[in-house]
Chain A
Amino acid sequence: QVQLQESGPGLVKPSQTLSLTCTVSGGSISSGAHYWSWFRQFPGKDLEWIAYIYKTGSTDYKPSLQSLVTISVDTSRNQFSLKLNSVTAADSAVYYCARGVEGIVDAFDVWGQGTVVTVS
């Protein structure tokens, strides 16, 4: 079955750019009608959606983050990525990538295990 795995630095300095990659295995990003998304969960347990992308490159972003975030897809590597600019301590969180239910843009049925990011 499809599995997702986040990768990237666990520690980022303030004002730098956070770059994360989600590698999809057991299936192709290019097949089916799935949206691919990034979320984060803060230490207080609040969940926040960041952005999603479709295999065609079509994207959507959380409005308050749109100016700081870029999501991209590399179908040849079966990966999608997140870049978050100008990070602050408030961006410290567990970052998850997830797959949307086929044909449903905004319910997510397969998640990565999460990667802890600390800004310090």
Chain B
Amino acid sequence: DIQMTQSPSSLSASVGDRVTITCRASQTISTYLNWYQQKPGKAPKLLIYAASTLQSGVPSRFSGSGSGTDFTLTIISLQPEDFATYYCQQSYNKITFGQGTTLEIK
């Protein structure tokens, strides 16, 4: 399996902040990388696919970048509804997820 490692595992930030979450693959995955947001008791929500393509309906304050083994999810101007857990997911070889990054209110 391709291992996906996210950092940090948790992050505290304030409304209006800019935050970056990173995801590293154990081998190159080109741009076969998706990002999801999950709130407690809810299913994951697709934010970004193919490393940088914003899913329809997702606010433009979310962006993704990277290729190969290193990827980032950036959220500019955090909103109250953005506090959640974020997962990266690779699809280069089968499908595996990172362990998640919990974004908490400072």
| A and B interact physically | yes
Which listed residue (B43, B94, B99) contacts A49, Cβ 8 A?
Answer: B94
Q: With A45-B100, A62-B94 given, is the CB distance from A107 to B43 under 8 Å?
A: no
User: Which residue of the partner chain A has the closest CB to B96?
Assistant: A49
Q: With A107-B34, A107-B50, A107-B91 given, is the CB distance from A46 to B97 under 8 Å?
A: yes
Q: With A45-B85, A47-B87 given, is the CB distance from A60 to B94 under 8 Å?
A: yes
Stretch at the interface among A9-17, A79-87, A98-106: A98-106
| Contact status A96-B49, CB under 8 Å | no
Which listed residue (B1, B46, B95) contacts A109, Cβ 8 A?
Answer: B46
* B44 on the A face (CB < 8 A): yes
- In whole angstroms, how far apart are the Cα atoms of A48 and B95 in the complex? 8
| Contact status A104-B94, CB under 8 Å | no
CB of A61 to closest CB in B, whole Å:
9
User: Which residue of the partner chain A has the closest CB to B92?
Assistant: A106
| Contact status A49-B44, CB under 8 Å | no
Q: With A45-B100, A47-B97, A60-B94 given, is the CB distance from A113 to B43 under 8 Å?
A: yes
| Contact status B97-A104, CB under 8 Å | no
A residues near B55, Cβ cutoff 8 Å: 101, 107, 109
Q: With A45-B100, A104-B49 given, is the CB distance from A63 to B43 under 8 Å?
A: no
User: Which residue of the partner chain B has the closest CB to A49?
Assistant: B95
B residues near A96, Cβ cutoff 8 Å: 43-44
| Contact status B91-A47, CB under 8 Å | no
Residues of A within 8 A of B (CB): 45-49, 60, 62-64, 96, 98, 101, 104-109, 111-114
Residues of B within 8 A of A (CB): 1, 32, 34, 42-46, 49-50, 55, 85, 87, 89, 91, 94-97, 99-100
